[in-house]
């Protein structure tokens, strides 16, 4: 099984993995599959809007990094027991409006979410790629 070869709480480049294989692996493991295609996003706000739409965040989502963390952790945790997560952020922007620092800040939120779920012994794997 694909997920057995990936640490349970990690944020990493998608590299050799295919989105379809990750989706199937999540389904086979009974885990949530969250996918955001960010090809059209150019700025931090675009990225947050796209993630919020793709992950079906509530309308009160604050569209900032703190709110993203809250939605990926507390909100879901309060919804009840969770089987695990496979998250794919495809085609993160790489331009002056969403530079390396902005990307690292975004990925730090997902790293913090992975730590949050690790403390609860729930697998959280996040894969990303750049444009």
Q: Domain coordinates of the chain in residue numbers?
A: 2-130
- Token reading at 54: 């793709």
Q: Give the helix/strand (H/E) hosting 33.
A: strand 32-37
Nearest to 37 by CA among 23, 24, 16, 58: 23
Angle (deg, nearest 10), helices 100-119 and 65-72: 30
Interval 26-76: pLDDT, tens: 999 999 999 999 999 999 999 999 999 999 998 888 889 999 999 999 877
Enter the pTM of the model. Answer: 0.94
The residue whose two tokens read 């794919």 is: 88
**pLDDT band at residue 1 using 50, 70 and 90 as cut-offs:** low
The four Cα atoms 52, 11, 82, 63 give a dihedral, to 10 degrees, of -20
pLDDT 10s digits, 72-107 = 998 777 778 899 999 999 999 999 999 999 999 999
Cα atoms in the Cβ-side hemisphere of radius 13 Å centred on 117? 31
Choosing among 3.30.370.10, 3.40.190.100, 3.40.50.720, 3.90.1570.10, the CATH entry for 2-130 is 3.30.370.10
* Tokens 């090809």 belong to residue: 39
């Amino acid at each position: 099984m694909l997920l057995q070869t990936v640490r349970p709480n990690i944020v990493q480049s998608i590299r050799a993995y295919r989105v379809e294989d990750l989706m199937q692996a999540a389904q086979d493991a009974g885990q949530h599959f969250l996918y955001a295609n960010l090809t059209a996003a150019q700025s931090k706000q675009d990225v947050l809007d796209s993630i919020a739409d793709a992950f079906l965040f509530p309308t009160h989502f604050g569209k900032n990094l703190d709110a993203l963390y809250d939605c990926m952790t507390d909100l879901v945790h309060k919804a009840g027991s969770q089987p695990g997560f496979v998250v794919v952020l495809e085609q993160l922007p790489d331009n002056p409006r969403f530079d390396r620092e902005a990307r690292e800040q975004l990925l730090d939120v997902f790293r913090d979410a992975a730590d949050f779920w690790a403390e609860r012994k729930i697998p959280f794997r996040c894969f990303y790629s750049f444009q």
